[in-house]
Chains A and B, each alone.
Chain A
């Protein structure tokens, strides 16, 4: 069964290689696109064909809609997989693909646009009966209006850019003075960063956990969830360790959360795979945060516990086929953890590009989704993530032990990586006990300093 003849991957690094693996398995030809800096990268060599699309800077290559579409046309690709980041949540790109007669592997441009606006997403989810963070879902124009709304909601609050994401465009305000101080600059920043100065207010949740639900929906009205992922271990609002299932949820809350997520996506007629992100407070109350309308970096932990190939599901759905799975066909077993290896300092998180002189990878039954090989150059132009180590075992304790062994067997020379931090996290008592929030890395560093 081949869903497409040839798929162009509008991305690079580990995710391009990951998508190619599934295409190869299904007998689908692949086209890689690459910039100057990626000429020698493994993903370029592994594709059936490769097209150079421009200079190293992403905005001159990977973000160039016209160049990517031209490459697809030249190579007769019938579909484009956007991966994550870059053009993956770009409504205009999805629309252009459709106009050019090329299938965009993802949801419709309308849905991408709807979920790209945090205010709109909140409104849609409220309508579907999905709990959202208490707050104000309207555009706040003036500081006077903000102060009045804030008084009603009561402090502390988060002032957020509607078009924001990835931890950018948010300000914590604890009182009226702080709100007054940051209101216009946040609005202005939102405008220059995201081209949209719309801001809104949400209650600030102290010590939250970040838990998300993987969903998959076809064009025929079938929608399922593939359980949750626990993603609370973060640095600078970006995830570094993810797992499934979450050690924080009991079966009752899990069922409720996952069914709520499915209700939310059905309400917007979502298609393809996607992720509903929630935050949990200390009392297991959960609130919708945002939706990622694409494949996630951490999707492998879901694949490990369900035995399903998410990229294959994406291709299948995009080709117009039925999901072919009902909720009860999707079972989970065991436990899976993923860690992200970054080319950066383990303490300051400062990036460390360079050439990988030596790369010894563990071989004892872990999955390695890597962007690089020994001898690869990690260029300064893109995300510092160079690979993911994914472990699976019968239960959480067993998988932690397996990950610990795998990390001890990993050696990277030539660049600085966060390996030491990852090693420390998996043997941390609080981590082992499942006792952590999104502040885990920050608090740990503070404790060490004291």
Chain B
């Protein structure tokens, strides 16, 4: 049965969907990801923290926009696992 799992950021900061402004997004909605794949970056105090998928599955949706300001523990994406 398909299950929807949220990916949360453990830290607050600014959420980015791409490594740098001139690069493509890490993943698109509908893409398949494996556990440990990077799906975004959070910038916190001049440091960049990778947000990785905790499951293998399909990215259903992103819960926040690129460059959104997020809180610690906030949901950033939803992964559907089989």
B82 CB–A CB distance under 8 Å: no
Docked-complex contact A382 and B20, CB < 8 angstroms: no
Interface contacts (Cβ under 8 Å), in number, total: 34
Given A57-B14, A380-B11, A381-B14, does the pair A344, B45 have CB atoms closer than 8 Å?
Answer: yes
What is the total number of residues of chain A having a CB less than 8 Å from a CB of chain B?
13
Q: Shortest beta-carbon distance, A446 to chain B, in Å?
A: 22
Residue of B nearest to A55 (CB): B69
A380 adjacent to B13 (CB under 8 Å): yes
- Hey, which chain B residues are within 8 Å of A29, CB to CB? none
Contact between chains at B44 and A380 (CB < 8 Å): yes
Residues from chain B with Cβ under 8 Å of A350 in the complex: 47
List A residues 41-93 near B (Cβ within 8 Å).
Answer: 56-57
Partner of A343, one of B12, B13, B45, B69: B45
- Interface positions, chain A 380-401, Cβ under 8 Å from B, are 380-384
Task: Report B30 CB to chain A, min CB distance, Å.
Answer: 28
Q: Per a CB cutoff under 8 Å, which of B46, B67, B69 touches A384?
A: B46
A353 is an interface residue with CB less than 8 A from chain B: yes
Min CB distance, A350 to chain B, in Å? 7
Q: Name the A residues within 8 Å of B35 (CB-CB).
A: none
Q: Is the CB of B45 within 8 A of A383?
A: yes
A380 to B72 CA separation, bound complex (whole angstroms) = 10
Query: Quick check: B20 and A192 within 8 Å, CB to CB?
Result: yes
Q: Number of residues in B with C-beta < 8 Å to the partner?
A: 13
B14 contacts A351, C-beta separation under 8 Å: no
Question: Would B44 and A351 count as touching, CB distance under 8 A?
Answer: yes
Q: Is the CB of B13 within 8 A of A192?
A: no
Query: A residues within 8 A CB of B67?
Result: 57
Cβ of B22 within 8 Å of any chain A Cβ, yes or no, is yes
26-82 of chain B: CB within 8 A of chain A: 43-47, 67, 69
Closest to B71 in A: A380
B20 touches A380 (CB 8 A): no
| B52–chain A nearest beta-carbon distance, Å | 16
Q: List residues of chain B with CB within 8 A of the CB of A382.
A: 45-46
CB distance from B76 to the nearest CB of A (A): 15
Residues of B contacting A57 in the complex (Cβ-Cβ under 8 angstroms): 14, 67, 69
Write the nearest CB–CB distance from A368 to chain B, whole angstroms.
21
Bound state CA distance, A181 and B22, in angstroms? 23
Contacts of A353 in B (CB 8 A): 11-13, 44-45
Instruction: For the complex, give the distance between the alpha carbons of A353 and B69 in Å.
Output: 14
B45 / chain A contacts, CB cutoff of 8 Å: 343-344, 351, 353, 380-384
**Bound Cα distance A57, B69 (Å):** 9
Q: How far is the CA of A130 from the CA of B50 in the complex (A)?
A: 43
Q: How far is the CA of A384 from the CA of B47 in the complex (A)?
A: 10
Q: Please give, as numbers and ranges, the residues of chain B lying within 8 Å of A380 by CB-CB distance.
A: 11-14, 43-45
Residue-wise, chain A 146-158 has the 8 Å CB interface mask toward B (1 for contact) of 0000000000000
A residues in contact with B69, CB < 8 Å: 56-57
Residues of chain B contacted by A351 (CB below 8 angstroms): 11, 44-45, 47
The complex places the Cα of A383 from the Cα of B44 at a distance, in Å, of 9
A57-B69, A353-B12 known, 20 other contacts, Cβ within 8 Å: A56-B69, A57-B67, A192-B20, A343-B45, A350-B47, A351-B44, A351-B45, A351-B47, A353-B11, A353-B44, A380-B13, A380-B14, A381-B13, A381-B14, A381-B45, A382-B45, A382-B46, A383-B45, A383-B46, A384-B45
Sample of 11 A–B contacts (CB below 8 Å): A57-B69, A192-B20, A192-B22, A350-B47, A353-B11, A353-B44, A380-B13, A380-B14, A380-B43, A380-B45, A384-B45
The 7 A-B residue pairs with the shortest CB-CB distance, nearest first, are: A351-B45, A384-B45, A380-B13, A380-B44, A380-B12, A351-B44, A351-B47
